[in-house]
Chains A and B, each alone.
Chain A
Amino acid sequence: GAVVSQHPSWVICKSGTSVKIECRSLDFQATTMFWYRQFPKQSLMLMATSNEGSKATYEQGVEKDKFLINHASLTLSTLTVTSAHPEDSSFYICSASRGTGGGQPQHFGDGTRLSIL
């Protein structure tokens, strides 16, 4: 168990467009979901943590109005990149955890490659 589905896997769109990425836990309830950004050949950078039914907690330097996160249910979180520009092009990965207590491993989606033209 512990499968996380992320969709779409790859999106190309024009500058100024808003793009929504979905992250679903398929076989477990995810109290907490995380959104990461990964630049080529670099590590994962945590963007925000979302708990079901409450506002997301953003890391320092991440624009809340640019990266809108919604965690409406225990199996779905969405990341919307608003008015995307070329500098937003990156690989975005979500992960889901069964609980907020420590020790719960995060299970990752396959990632979304976002290319803004």
Chain B
Amino acid sequence: AQTVTQSQPEMSVQEAETVTLSCTYDTSESNYYLFWYKQPPSRQMILVIRQEAYKQQNATENRFSVNFQKAAKSFSLKISDSQLGDTAMYFCASLGKTGTASKLTFGTGTRLQVTL
């Protein structure tokens, strides 16, 4: 079984500043994947970044990077140079690597507001 916990229901950041969204998880899988998805007001789920558990190097996608602490089961998302378009709901998710049983487990989400 997998669980994902996001302890920050809402966060706010000023434009051009940096913000970090927290996520912790628990899984019984030996190998797994972690994701951050963004859901703007349009409600489409957009993949932000992906991390393979067996890779020690933190994933980076332009202004988005993660701090993956495997021992602590922590997977935080850092958004640098925040932009107004980053305003959205952010969901952390884990995916177990077990063939047809692969399922995404989502956290409860963090609502991020980027202000001027």
Which A residues have a C-beta under 8 Å from some C-beta of B?
32, 34, 42-44, 46, 49, 51, 91, 93, 95, 97, 100-111
Contact A105/B43 with A44-B91, A46-B103, A100-B102 known, Cβ cut-off 8 Å: no
B102 and A101 contact, CB distance less than 8 A: yes
Name B52's closest neighbour in chain A (CB-CB).
A103
Contacts of A95 in B (CB 8 A): 45, 104
Q: How far is the CA of A105 from the CA of B104 in the complex (A)?
A: 9
Query: Is B14 part of the contact surface with A, judged by Cβ < 8 Å?
Result: no
Q: List 22 A-B contacts (CB under 8 A).
A: A32-B100, A43-B91, A43-B107, A43-B108, A44-B45, A44-B91, A46-B103, A46-B104, A93-B43, A97-B102, A100-B102, A101-B99, A102-B95, A102-B96, A103-B33, A105-B35, A105-B47, A106-B47, A108-B44, A108-B45, A110-B44, A111-B43
Which B residues have a C-beta under 8 Å from some C-beta of A?
31-33, 35, 37, 42-47, 50, 52, 91, 95-100, 102-104, 106-109
Contacts of A91 in B (CB 8 A): 43
Shortest beta-carbon distance from A71 to chain B in Å: 13
